[in-house]
Structure 1
Amino acid sequence: MWLWSRLHTWSSLACTVFLLLLCLTGLPLIFHDELGDLLGHAIAAPDLPPGTPPADLDAVVAAAQAQRPGEVVQYLIWEEDPAILRLSLAPSPSASPDALTTVLVDARTGRVLGEPRDREGFLYWMLRLHTDLFAGIPGKLFLGGMGLLFLLAIVSGAVLYGPFARHGGFGAVRRGRSARLRWLDRHNILGVVTLSWALVVGATGVVNTLAEQVLAVWRADQLAAMTAPWRGQDPVAAPGSVQAAVDAARAAAPGRQPFFVAWPQTMFTSGHHYGVYLRGDTPLTHRLFIPALVEAETGVLTDLRPMPWYVQALLLSQPLHFGDYGGLPLKLAWAVLDLVTIVVLGSGLWLWWAGRRGGTR
């Protein structure tokens, strides 16, 4: 038990400050959509009669490009609100994600609704602190390491609490003893009660920090195999109809709807294809995408295959990490558990500091 005690103490101390930061910044992110509406960041589409047909996607693209002259579309994304389409534009087809600007277009009329302020404000700062500490990929990998230490602290804490619980002490707070001992019991109880949730959130958080690496493996493996016949050819200079590409992909995968379209030369396709990413309509398949590659010049579907298991694990981890599966009730449960974890982390720091002071005296 001495080894487990040392593992628990030092793995906890190494990550606690950063875990407190992640819990504090993650709390408002659980309610990202609701806070966005409250802060006035949301851009709504006008009410139209039910059954209004969708606009032609080529007209939608033209409207977005007219809003941002001289820029080209890299991505077309279907929002959760079916009346809104999100288009990401950049100065060139292969420009980095940092150069992207966003234009929202009414999916039914093809009219521009506005340009959301995605990279400013309270929620943006919370998101950047939570995901990468404003340090990019190195920041994400560092937080991933802290997440691994957090998982080690959880497991070692459960092992240490096991003998106490087996002897009838589960859930007990020993009275008549020192304040530190009573807080130790409370710390242990809260830690064990939130054990499963903390493991899920910690593990999914670690997976999310590896998003760039996971996608890089997929591009080098499966995407490279799907686009091998076009390797070495010059990229398409003027892509054809995006509406035709989406129609071809939907015809090849009945029952699935488009989630986003990647233009040629972006990271989710090749220099010769539209990448049309389709999803299902169940809570599970809604999160799992199937990429369909459509030749940008001819509109002919060339390949369609499910994502490999490691990309699917990433896709499932992202919404699970923020409790974004079951609507507002699950978000509220996530928030309560987040607050309890803050108490566990804070009490752990206090217990360690109080123990050192007691040992010195």
Structure 2
Amino acid sequence: MSSGAVKVWYLVHKWTSLVCTLFLLMLCITGLPLIFHEEIDHLLEGERPLPAVEAGAPSKTLEDALDTALARFPGTIPLFMSFDEDQPVVNVTTGPRPRSTVDEMNFISIHRPTAEPVRTPDDEGVMHFILQLHTDMFLGLGGELFLGFMGFLFFVAIVSGVVVYAPFMRKLRFGTVRVSRNSRAKWLDTHNLLGIVTLMWASVVGLTGVVNTLSTPLVDLWRADQLSEMVAPYEGKPVPTAFSSLDDAVATAMAAAPGTTPQFVAFPGVRFSSNHHYAVWLRGATPATKQLHTPALIDAETGALTEMRSMPWYMTVLRLSQPLHFGDYGGLPMKVLWALLDIAAIVILGSGLYLWLARRSLPAPGTRHAHEELLPQAGPAE
């Protein structure tokens, strides 16, 4: 590669890094506790006590759980019911109308065998604050898209950093850290080494983060494309005045897709359903398939299955990106690995910022020690 091409790649690396570094530092720092969000929630909230089940007592139905939630929040209607993966608990969301805002919604967890309330989830805790800062900086969709653009710049910085690193490595063995040189040289070598070691992980986390920031536009695209086709025969029909059994609706959906389990139910009128349907969202029952969702539309008046189809490729990419971004696929060992790599990324970003700031105070050309800085440079923020 010519020296002119290397210089262009160097400038690309320098400026993409400079623009995104502070935001990437924020994402890495907030992402660290989010990797262990389940463990931290358990530590902060303690063990969720479940009501005792008397021997021989008949198990309650989903309708009973729904009645408990509606009794707790009078004057509201059901919006969503989600199913806990680890405990016999359903989480019910209610609101004053089908298109209620988040601020208007009420949330409660119900023990399925007894239909007794367990706990109203806390959406105002420290982990909720960290999650909001990490996903959109409390700016909504605009914040999500902005952070997505920062993630894209981060990926460009990674690619350009590899290109710039290649000629640099011709002068040093891989893994060399020049501890006998000045502080800037040591940090440069450390920065380059960690950058190459974490290359694949940083690329995966950066790109999945970009995909996750597109969640709202992708869901809106699915609703305008796929969902509108699925409910077209029912267009204009009002919300039924009498509803068929919720338990039967879930059973019908599961029977149509053997080997799946319910993830959540969207009630008639909400954005993931239609005015005339229960939308029963099913997921695979194995670790490899549980992120793959299939919506089944059940006529809320008759209880009949009217439509079921797999999610399009872009929604599948979105679903697979979400747990991969936080290392949720392999249990605690993978989370620990993700955390160590995240710490390495923080060191990379911090050292890149230091290298850029330190270079601004270098001796003028021709002065003592100035020659020590004439080696090829590869610092992301230089």
- Fold shared, TM-score > 0.5 on shorter chain: yes
8 Å contact kept, 2:51–2:116: no
Listed as ranges, the matches of 1:216-295 within 5 Å are 216-295=220-299
Alignment of 1:91-102 (within 5 A): 91-102=96-107
Give 1:1-40 correspondences, 5 Å limit.
Answer: 1-40=6-45
Residue 193 (structure 2) aligns with: 189
Structure 1 length as normaliser, TM-score?
A: 0.95
Q: Does 1:45 align with 2:42?
A: no
Q: Equivalents in 2 of 1:305, 1:217: separation in Å?
A: 16
Give the Cα separation in 1 of the matches to 2:179 and 2:37.
42
Per-residue deviation, 1:282: 1.4
Equivalent residue in structure 2 for 1:127, among 116, 125, 131: 131
How many residues matched?
A: 360
Give the aligned residue type for 1:34: E
Map of 1:354 onto structure 2 = 358
Alignment correspondent of 2:378: none
Counterpart amino acid of residue 190 in structure 1: L
- The residue aligned with 2:168 is 164
Residue by residue over 1:17-59, the C-alpha shift from the partner in whole angstroms, topping out at 9 and shown as x without a partner, is 0011111111111111111111126633245589987531111
C-alpha contact (below 8 Å) 1:164/1:170 kept by paired residues: no
Q: CA RMSD in A?
A: 1.8
Superposition TM-score, scaled by structure 2 size: 0.90
Deviates more, 1:171-180 or 1:75-84: 171-180
Determine the structure 2 residue equivalent to 1:205: 209
AA aligned opposite 1:218: W
Distance 1:284 1:15, change over 3 A: same
Deviation of residue 349 (structure 1)?
A: 0.2
1:55 is aligned to 2:60: yes
Q: Secondary structure at the match of 1:95?
A: coil
Q: Is the 8 A contact 1:239 1:264 kept in 2?
A: no
**Change beyond 3 A, Cα 1:108–1:191:** same
> What is the CA deviation profile of residues 231-250 of structure 1, one whole-angstrom value per residue up to 9, with x for unaligned ones?
12223344332112111101
Residues 360 and 54 of structure 1: CA distance in aligned 2, closer, same or farther (over 3 Å): farther
1:68 corresponds in structure 2 to 73
Name the CA shift for 1:152/1:49 in 2 (closer, same or farther; >3 Å). Answer: farther
The answer on whether the counterparts of 1:12 and 1:153 sit within 8 Å (CA) in structure 2 is: yes
Following superposition, the deviation at residue 166 of structure 1 comes to 4.9
Contact 2:264/2:280 (CA < 8 Å) preserved in 1? Answer: yes
How has the CA–CA distance of structure 1 residues 50 and 333 changed in structure 2, closer, same or farther, with 3 Å as cutoff?
A: farther
- 2:93 is equivalent to residue 105 of structure 1: no
Secondary structure of residue in 2 paired with 1:169 = coil
Question: What's 2:372 paired with?
Answer: none
Change (3 A) 1:130 1:39: same
Structure 2 unaligned segments of length 5 or more: list them.
Answer: 1-5, 366-382
Give ranges in structure 1 of 5+ residues lacking alignment: none
3-state DSSP of counterpart to 1:357: coil
